[in-house]
Amino acid sequence: MLTRRELGFGVGAAVTAGLARPALAQRPPVELVMAQQAQPPTLDAQVTTAQAARNITLHFAETLFARDEAGNPKPDLAEGVDISADGLTYRFALREARFHNGKQMTSADVKASLLRYGRVGGSAFIMQPVEAIDTPDARTVVVRMKQPSPGFIAGISSPRAPCAILPEEEAGKEANRADPIGTGPYRFVEYRPDSHVRLAKFGDYVQNRAYQGMDGFAGRKMANVDSLLIRFVPEGGARTAGLQAGEMHILEAIAVPAAQRLRNDRSLTMHEMMPWSFQTLMLNHVAPPMDNPVFRRALQAALDLEEIMAISTDGLYRMTHGWQHPGTEYFAGDVGKELYNLSNKDRARALLREANYRNEEIILLGDSSFKNHNDTIVTAAEQLRSVGINVRVVITDWPTAFSQRTQRTGWHMWALMLGIEPYEGPYGVVGFFSGQAPVQHARDPVIEECQAKLNNSLAEADRKQAVVDFQRRMYEQAIAIKCGDVGIVQATRAQVRDYKPYRIPRMWGVTLG
């Protein structure tokens, strides 16, 4: 168990100090309980792209820029930014903020945090264009670029693997070594693996008074309860039962059938959101025979994606081919649509012959923590067997599956709901398949060129063309397989007031009636 005592200030002292204030002495402490499916692989906010981690870390960690309700970048720890006409200089003015260890945030902390992100960050590629970082005074940070980087603000504002600002002394530590100290409205108390994380209200939190109210992960953040308990409950039925019994106040996600069954229960509120994520099948290009694009196209042809979506989502889905959401600025239209959801067994068998497939075993990696992932893998396995592919299904827990996919061996196909990346725009999606550690483990020259153009061109038309070229390459080379768009239902007890559903459950601004 990791506790605040290990961070240098004891749990008892921290919590007791908060409860001793006169305003709190008149009532018992109020704890809000949220249940999520998986436990986080780490609480080092910068290093992981896991949803199970950012659900937690974004309550105690903050970033220079965050995303508003519509997903647009907005200032958070920065008051704003001035960008030079040539796109090479970013000057950030910092607002007042205080770390949970009592230290005032300065430009030295920000510089050290940005540099660390470039070393260990889950989206470290966003720091590649940075040439130098200057700190002319305690409230100013100047980032100088090697070349224009129009996606830089989008990158540092992304919640995917948050570019969290840490105390300078923590930012000097290696990945997974930094203590969970931030500037957010809640502070870390304890982490009990296989059980829960507890956070407590940070009494010295400095609110961002540039905002009147909540606005995504920017905005004004009001901690209205004394503590947060984030429980790890892998089994969906147990989460639902806990909500009904009042043991839990918020569910990160509730199964669609359960949401439909309980929609008329006045003690509960259901919050449906579409789209929530892409359902995808990631492919390991360095594990033969997946290194052969003809074999990958055989998989692409064999799969009945609508059957996969119907089974894995319990009906809350839509069939769309785009690697950006329809109606958004970078949606690439019909590019690649002719290769989407082919469900053509004869074509698949012909491509297998062309690929000279010799019954090599293909390992499909799923996880038991997310029903959607498990159902996707199991359904895909049956479809691939039907065209003569030798398939072995391996189901583990989520942390194990997430760790395994970083290895170059031991898997060929992996199911993933890709949620944050398409929500934030093209940079995260293209970045997922490019850079030094692409998910497919083999860098593709066309996708690398798309990423460079997207990241470096000041012309909007060039950036949009880069996304078109990326989507075309994804389908023509079967880099990965997009199954469709997934919806989600969050659920709350009726006594949870002022809860606003969002990509990541936010537990500031919320009260318990």
Give residue-wise pLDDT tens across range 50-67: 989 999 999 999 999 999
Mean pLDDT of all residues in the chain?
92
The predicted pLDDT at position 16 comes to 32
The predicted pLDDT at position 419 comes to 85
The predicted pLDDT at position 421 comes to 85
Q: Average of pLDDT values for 13-39?
A: 67
The predicted pLDDT at position 3 comes to 37
Asked if residue 233 has pLDDT above 70, the reply is yes
Spatial separation of the C-alpha atoms in residues 233 and 3, rounded to whole Å: 21
The predicted pLDDT at position 490 comes to 96
Spatial separation of the C-alpha atoms in residues 447 and 449, rounded to whole Å: 5
Asked if residue 403 has pLDDT above 50, the reply is yes
Q: Average of pLDDT values for 356-373?
A: 92
∠ CA 471-472-477, rounded to 5°: 105
- Among 4-8, 84-88, 181-185, the range scoring the smallest mean pLDDT is 4-8
Q: Average of pLDDT values for 322-339?
A: 94
Spatial separation of the C-alpha atoms in residues 56 and 199, rounded to whole Å: 9
Q: Average of pLDDT values for 84-88?
A: 93
CB-based contact 90:83 (threshold 8 Å):
yes
∠ CA 170-161-190, rounded to 5°: 55
Q: Average of pLDDT values for 505-511?
A: 95
The predicted pLDDT at position 24 comes to 46
Q: Average of pLDDT values for 190-195?
A: 96
Spatial separation of the C-alpha atoms in residues 57 and 224, rounded to whole Å: 18
CA distances from 286 to 23, 104, 231, 292, 505 (A): 60, 47, 37, 9, 36
Spatial separation of the C-alpha atoms in residues 71 and 425, rounded to whole Å: 9
Phi, psi of 403 (to 5 degrees): -70, -40
| Whole-number percent of the chain with pLDDT over 70 | 95
Per residue in 153-187, pLDDT tens?
A: 999 999 989 999 999 999 999 999 999 999 999 99
Which of the pair, 226 or 14, is modelled with greater confidence?
226
The predicted pLDDT at position 358 comes to 97
CB-based contact 49:160 (threshold 8 Å):
yes
The predicted pLDDT at position 370 comes to 83
The alpha carbon torsion through 41, 45, 50, 51 (nearest 10 deg) reads 120
The predicted pLDDT at position 208 comes to 96
pLDDT band at 427 (very low <50, low <70, confident <90, very high): confident
Peptide bond into 289 cis (omega under 30): yes
The predicted pLDDT at position 405 comes to 87
The predicted pLDDT at position 71 comes to 82
Q: Average of pLDDT values for 350-376?
A: 94
Asked if residue 20 has pLDDT above 80, the reply is no
The predicted pLDDT at position 10 comes to 29
Spatial separation of the C-alpha atoms in residues 477 and 456, rounded to whole Å: 24
pTM over cut 0.85? no
Per residue in 104-130, pLDDT tens?
A: 999 999 999 999 999 999 989 889 999
Please compute Rg for the chain using Cα positions: 23
Per residue in 447-491, pLDDT tens?
A: 999 998 998 888 889 999 999 999 999 999 999 999 999 999 999
Asked if residue 321 has pLDDT above 90, the reply is yes
436: exposed, middle or buried (Cβ count in 10 Å: 0-12, 13-18, 19+): exposed
